[in-house]
Amino acid sequence: MYKEEIIVKNIFIIIMLFLFFSLSSVSSGVDGNEILKKVDKNLFPQSYESYRKIINIEPDGKKKEFIFYTAKKGTEKVVGLFLSPASEKGRSTLRLGENMWLYIPNVGKPVRITSLQSVVGGVFNNSDILRLDYSVEYSVTKLEDSEKNYILHLKAKTNSVAYDKIRMTVEKKRVLPSKVECMDTSEMLIKTLYFKDVKDFGNGVISPSVIETDSPFYKGYKSIFIFGKIKAREFSDEVFTFDFMSKIDSLTK
């Protein structure tokens, strides 16, 4: 009889604990995928233009710098244009979903490129440079909730995405990422992105102005994005076509 009472009490405790955590989860109302969508919204407007400096730093301190213009429309259309150095000026890129191309003026015909290649070298790849919204490419599989941050565990929706898994640290106060750890299918770390120096770019755009990255595969190397301008702007669909790749500079005038 005594043993039966203990068993009943243990079952009761387990049920109460289950109900407590279930109700806590429901009452918090925290949805990981909704947080991810808000992160996207806070990082950049849905359609926008930006100017940034891309800096590649080698272990000996040697630097290579680029000035890069970007225009994005909706969730799957991005173009980019090199403004400097002179050796790269006029080269442009186009991304439609997971498909990417590079236009070189002397060649004339757009060349297919992949997400894991890099048009600038360094640690940033083409997927980083021509990034789509995180919520377009990833789903949240797990959410960790601490006092100041959310930790979002992301899984790629398709096999064509550059990183199979991502662990994103999100600052609760501004719902902006502070760190993004990019991993392969076995959860081996490929690179880490650090979002820094939140800046008011005007017209409601408050976003990190600096993104740094390093990788265990490129020890001693570092690459940096420094955004000088992020501004909401609408574009016609014509901008995101092969024919317009030679005319992207007209958007900067």
Cα 242 from Cα 248, distance rounded (Å): 11
Tell me what pLDDT residue 25 has: 38
Handedness of CA 40, 42, 48, 50 (dihedral sign): negative
Is the pTM for the entire model greater than 0.85? yes
Mean pLDDT of the chain: 91
Tell me what pLDDT residue 108 has: 77
pLDDT in tens, 33-84: 999 999 999 999 999 999 999 999 999 999 999 999 999 999 999 999 999 9
pLDDT in tens, 3-29: 455 554 555 545 544 444 443 333 356
Weakest mean pLDDT among 26-30, 61-65, 94-98, 147-151: 26-30
Tell me what pLDDT residue 4 has: 54
